Structure 1
Amino acid sequence: MAISVFDIFSIGIGPSSSHTVGPMRAARMFVLSLRCEGLLARTARVRAELFGSLGATGHGHGTPKAVLLGLEGHSPHSVEVDSADDEIARIRSTQRLRLLGAEMGTAHEIEFEEPTGLVLHRRRALPHHANGMMLFAYDAAGAPLSEKTYYSVGGGFVVDEEAVGEDRVKPDDTVLTYPFRTAEELLRLSRETGLSIPSLMLENEKAWRTEEDIRAGLLEIWHVMRACTTRGMSREGTLPGGLKVRRRAANAARALRSEGDAAARAMEWTTLYAMAVNEENAAGGRVVTAPTNGAAGIIPAVLHYYINFVPGADEDGIVRFLLAAGAIGMLFKENASISGAEVGCQGEVGSA
């Protein structure tokens, strides 16, 4: 099995990689499968059922919103975060879904009504993982056309029940130049080849992309992280949800700027960078899963420290850092878990 650094770091939306990004991907996968199997035009009704942690905490993590956006063909990477709420309001007011409407010239529109079309099971779970969901499609007469089960296993990774086995992530049989599954194997390969961990990772990534594309993709990830941090330090107000938590990053940024020399308070700034990303994530903004949304602030904070406080910092250093960090993320993904439903929020943060 092969995992790319772009699986560990993926551009998406908040507030949760397992409860928002994964379900959106799963719902989109389902409607794409209907199209692939020639069933989309015959589909008159769909139903989604959420189980385990998705059902118990889905409303607080925006899971219903994510599923509806996924059914309309949106992907976490490209969905417009500023208009997503308007899309959901339109679906609920019209009680109509545009299946794959986000990517098809002419959308296949069907009736859709909550809560019958989107069911959250608060006390029922599926067998293979705490984050399970089932999707169904029916024709105009109510006859079933398709039924699929997906698991959102952390970090935005999604597996179809048909692919669930000993491994917990979607299988990829790509042959890598330097395959590894443990830290011992990674360090041995580095010693034997004389390659640094980033260089070794770069050679593996070439199985999927050119070196130019790898560099460009990693810098795009950094640019999204940087933009997210900037937004988080400028936004005021209250975060979504019933707790009415006020944003703190903007006020903290003003206070730190008034203190003068930033280098003298580098650790306070680094904490602020992480807080700013976390607040944007909680608000459903554009973030980078790193390796989850719950821990999305840590990697950007380290990179901001590097750029702002390390002499000679440059884009080459950013690329090397993300490659090395991706290698460590793979070790967690392969041998433990990054899923908050399995290891708790501190398991996510500890991985980051």
Structure 2
Amino acid sequence: MAHECISVFDIFKIGVGPSSSHTLGPWRAALRFLDQLEQDGKLAAVSKVQVLLYGSLAKTGHGHGTDIAVQLGLCGDDPVTFDVNQINPKMDDIRRSRRMKIAGKYEIDFDPVEDIDFLFEESLPFHPNALTFLVTLLDGEQLASTWYSIGGGFVVQEGDAGGSAQQVDLPFPIDTARQLLQWCIKTGYSISELVMENEHAWRPEEETRQGLLNIWRVMQECTFRGCHTGGELPGGLKVGRRAAVLNKKLLKGRTYTDYASWIDAIRAGGEHFSYTLDWVSCFALAVNEENASFGRVVTAPTNGAAGVIPAVLQYFIAFCDGFHEEKIQQFLLTASEIGSIFKKRSTISAAMGGCQAEIGVSSAMAAAALTECMGGSQRQVLMAAEIAMEHHLGLTCDPIGGLVQIPCIERNTMGAIKAITASQLALQSNPELAKVSLDAVVKTMWETAQDMNSKYKETSDGGLAVNIPISLPEC
């Protein structure tokens, strides 16, 4: 039986907000499409490009910046390194000139209003997040290429059943929590150690460790930046940023210009319950306010849920003496394996499963990671993940105005707090007596996703999205 191979760096990806499936995925799809044109020797012959957005990408595409993402992708810009401060100037230039330099090399006519088509009433059967690139070459030949953004920044081309994950020979192939536990029992490895052994199939250990620290660096910078940036979020909802206000209040007006001093000050404030709870919320708010502002974030496992894992990791660092490189690496390795199991056996796409697939999965990942880092057994780690997801089952995705703001930002605070609670419960419990397994809750989540009405799957056609009166500016 072939196993899907998912690396820690497939689950944790550096990119740009506000959405992994609606921003990062379409951006990556455009880049991969350009690669195909280049390989076929047709890139220099392109005279016109049009983009068709279907289903959820159409319905919430403006709010998620899908149109912006595909333009940046077609320009050949890298979401990992592109200066986010240049997004608006670049979009203004394309809009004004009605010209685009495709792949950064060949200038063509391109009018975003005319050449990006939001097909609100059309959906393709494979996945709700679909987009098609229509290309006309200089000799009149026409090409069409359809891609699907399947959640977490993963993209697949139509007809490519294998998906985007690289196939390698793993020493410990894992598709289920049961298999993961069996390998841990057989080898005596912790979950993070087992994951590291599998990562060797892709790259040397030191490269993996440095990559994990780079992921952590982006999370750290994003959290710190979000805690020190005020103002209003873009998009027209007029949502004020709260993390900076809360940060200033908790530190009694004191300011810090570097991360280490800031964390030391947070630690010095004590560990009483309300103080800790406020900081966990502040961390999560900070990341997702950055995400909503087209900031650089880590998909964990999605952008809409990007604040949960950094918030719980910051909690571990600030309040559990977890500021050690090896502990941070252990945290991310464990979290990634839980995310991989959900992706393989269910979904991490809100367009497929509602918000349980994003906040629920990220909460399960964070709960598991925290439990291992706090000394929990492998069974307690899996129990913590199960508890966290069990109490997110059925959570809908109903973003107001198609923006990753309400209720998305606050849901990250809830996911982080539930993760910590789940970890504490697991650490104080005998997992041998657990009635619900992680595999059972993964299966239940997938069945719930299939039963869920499509209006609760990132379409903004139901829930809060239709019950909160708003007036957004014309796109």
**Band the TM-score falls in, shorter-chain normalisation:** over 0.9
- Give the C-alpha shift of residue 267 in structure 1: 2.0
Partner residue in 1 for 2:258: none
* Per-residue CA distance 1:235-262 (angstroms, 9 max, x = gap): 1111011211010111011111129724
Q: 1:134 aligns with which of 121, 132, 135?
A: 132
User: Following the alignment from structure 1 to structure 2, what is the Cα–Cα distance between the partners of residues 343 and 291?
Assistant: 14
2:98 aligned partner, one-letter code: Q
SS of the residue aligned with 1:116? helix
- Secondary structure of the 1:119 match is strand
Per-residue Cα deviation, 1:254-274 (whole angstroms, up to 9, x for no partner): 111129724221221011100
Gaps of 5+ in 2: 254-267, 363-475
Report SS of the residue matched to 2:52. Answer: strand
Amino acid at match of 1:338: I
CA contact (8 A) 1:228 1:280 kept: yes
Equivalent residue letter for 1:240: P
CA distance in 1, matches of 2:316, 2:30: 38
2:57 pairs with one of 38, 54, 57: 54
Superposed CA RMSD in Å reads: 1.3
| Conserved 8 A contact 2:18-2:304 | yes
Which of 221, 231, 251 is 2:225 aligned to?
A: 231
Distance 1:231 1:262, change over 3 A: farther
User: d(CA) in 1 for partners of 2:322 and 2:33?
Assistant: 47
Confirm whether residue 344 of structure 1 aligns to residue 373 of structure 2.
no
* Alignment counterpart, residue 19 of structure 1, candidates 12, 18, 22: 22
CA shift, 1:143, in A, is 3.0
Shift of 1:312: 5.5
**CA distance in 2: counterparts of 1:197 and 1:180, whole angstroms:** 11
Summarize the alignment of residues 312-331 of structure 1 with structure 2, pairs less than 5 Å apart.
313-331=323-341
How much has 1:171 moved relative to structure 2? 4.7
Give the aligned residue type for 1:288: V
Aligned partner (choices 155, 158, 173) of residue 155 of structure 2 = 158
**Amino acid paired to 2:269:** D
Deviation string, structure 1 residues 84-105 (Cα, Å, up to 9, x no partner):
111111111111111111xxxx
Q: Is the 8 A contact 1:256 1:262 kept in 2?
A: no
2:145 aligned partner, one-letter code: K
Aligned residues: 343
Select the structure with the greater relative contact order (CA < 8 A; seq sep ≥ 6): 1
| One-letter code aligned to 2:101 | R
| Structure 1 residue matching 2:192: 3-state secondary structure | helix
- 1:148 is aligned to 145
**Contact kept in structure 2, 1:163 and 1:171, CA below 8 Å:** no
Candidates 236, 243, 252, aligned match of 2:246: 252
**What's the secondary structure of 2:146's corresponding residue?**
strand
- Judged with a 3 Å threshold, the aligned counterparts in structure 2 of structure 1 residues 224 and 171 are, in CA distance, closer, same or farther, namely closer
Higher helix share: 2
- SS at the partner of 2:147? strand
Determine which of 83, 92, 95 is the counterpart of 2:95: 92
Of the three residues 261, 279, 296, the one matched with 2:269 is: 261
- Give the CA deviation at 1:313: 3.5
Distance 1:64 1:223 in 2: 29
Consecutive unaligned residues in structure 1, runs of 5 or more: 102-106
- CA gap 1:257/1:60 in 2 versus in 1, 3 angstroms: same
> What residue is the counterpart of 2:435 in the other structure?
none
| 2:72 is equivalent to residue 72 of structure 1 | no
- Matched position secondary structure for 2:202: coil
- Cα drift, residue 223 of structure 1: 0.6
Distance in 1, matches of 2:172 and 2:81, equals 32
Answer with 255-264 or 51-60: which moved more.
255-264
Please, what TM-score do these two structures have when normalized by structure 2? 0.71
* Distance in 2 between residues matched to 1:276 and 1:346, nearest whole Å: 21
CA spacing shift, 1:235–1:312, aligned 2, 3 Å: closer
Shift of 1:115: 2.5
* Rounded Cα–Cα distance in structure 1 between residues aligned with 2:247 and 2:177: 38
1:186 paired to 2:180: yes
Q: In structure 2, what residue type is equivalent to 1:202?
A: M
Equivalent residues of 2:30, 2:70 under 8 A apart? yes
SS at match of 1:70: helix
Q: 2:405 aligns to what?
A: none
What is the percent sequence identity of the aligned residues? Answer: 47
Moved more, 257-266 or 223-232: 257-266
After the TM superposition, which residues 33-44 of structure 1 pair with which residues of structure 2 at under 5 Å, given as runs? 33-44=36-47
